[in-house]
Amino acid sequence: MCVSVANAQNIAGSPEYIKALTAKWEGERFEDGRPKVSDDLLERLKKVTIEEAWAELMKLGYQNQYEGDWMLLHEREDAVMTGRAVTAQFMPMRPDLEDQIIEQGKKEGRMWQQRRTVSWVINSLRKGDVYVADTYNKEFLGTAVGSNLGNGVYNATGNGMIAYGHIRDLERLRKVEGLNIWMKGYDPSYMRQTILMNYNVPIRIGKAIVIPGDAVLAKPGAVLFIPAHLVEHIVLTSEFTALSDEFGEDMIRKGIYTAGEIDSMWDESMNRRFIQWIDEYEGELPMKKEDLKRFLEQRNF
């Protein structure tokens, strides 16, 4: 709420504000200030399990990034979505507050004639984004999207949406190939008692806090929001774990190390053997060798 009041003069968080929120990010950014996590990392992130990523985030002190108990527009065991978060904060309708938001929208050159402010967020989306909306789990007259807005989300992002609330037009939305939505439920009413307060600001999604540009990792029943500056670390940690497991199995089969030695803290000779094993690896590495070696230099085995 403090964020909303402090930025009442602007509907969207400014680039300067987003840069301040994400000051630990050192890479490329979008014009709106959000970190531009690479498409390659987002694709590799799809193979990371929720458990792996969540355990590493907890270890790093990020204990409020997970929310569970979701319905999916398309319920599939292999459902997965990754992307860069565009956040939106909604609140219960209040006429005088809506009037002020509409007036601000006019000043910013936004479409306001039909007073459907939710479209302001959707117009800002781009490929690779995930629309993350806090509609505070409102059902009647508070649905986050229907068929038109849902199509707009997919056309803009090629992805989908995380809705901490309900949606409508399930039958039509399920015909949109490639679109998936993580939601709390369904209601046939449309959004008339909920109003957009801000977008691209920090929001709360259940037990999780989300900052613009966070990487979204969504799988059946679970969503994790990963700070942009930690995405590469999370991905490399998962990929390293898979490789080190493969290395350990190979060493045990060849009688070079015992299972107990592999499961213990590696000494310097084991570290060197692992690096040699990587250099001779015949499979396709998920990461560049230089990225892995840089990661190993910083990691305490």
Give CA angle at 18 (16, 20), nearest 5°. 70
Domain boundary among 211, 227, 243: 227
Residues 254 and 207 in one domain: no
| pLDDT value, residue 2 | 45
Of 197, 227, 257, the one marking the end of a domain is 227
Q: What is the pLDDT of residue 301?
A: 53
The total number of structural domains that make up the chain: 2
In this predicted model, which residue has the larger pLDDT, 162 or 271? 162
Cα separation of 267 and 190, whole Å? 61
Instruction: Record the tokens describing residue 96, joined without a space.
Output: 């005088």
Number of helices (H), then strands (E), in the chain: 12, 11
- The CATH number for 56's domain is 3.50.30.40
Is pLDDT at 5 greater than 50 in this prediction?
no
Q: Residues 198-208, buried b or exposed e (16+ Cβ, 10 A)?
A: bbbbbbebbeb
Q: Do 61 and 151 sit in the same domain of this protein?
A: yes
> Do 127 and 160 fall into the same domain?
yes
The pTM for the full model equals: 0.89
Pairing of strands 81-92, 194-199: antiparallel
| Residues 239 and 216 placed together within one structural domain of the fold | no
Q: Which of 227, 244, 259 is the last residue of a domain?
A: 227
For residues 223 and 237, state if they share a domain. no
Give the dihedral sign, CA 176/178/179/185. Answer: positive
Residue 264 and residue 174 in one domain: no
Q: What is the pLDDT of residue 157?
A: 97
pLDDT of residue 246: 92
Give yes or no: residues 119 and 190 share one domain: yes
Residues 58 and 178 in one domain: yes
pLDDT at 64 over 60: yes
Q: Are both 138 and 179 inside the same structural domain?
A: yes
What is the rounded distance in angstroms from the CA atom of residue 56 to the CA atom of residue 213?
19
pLDDT beyond 80 at 257:
yes
Instruction: For residue 149, give its domain range.
Output: 2-227
Q: 194 with 93: CB under 8 angstroms?
A: yes
Instruction: Tell me, yes or no, whether 202 and 153 share the same domain.
Output: yes
Are 146 and 186 part of one and the same domain? yes
- Strand 203-205 and strand 194-199: the pairing is unpaired
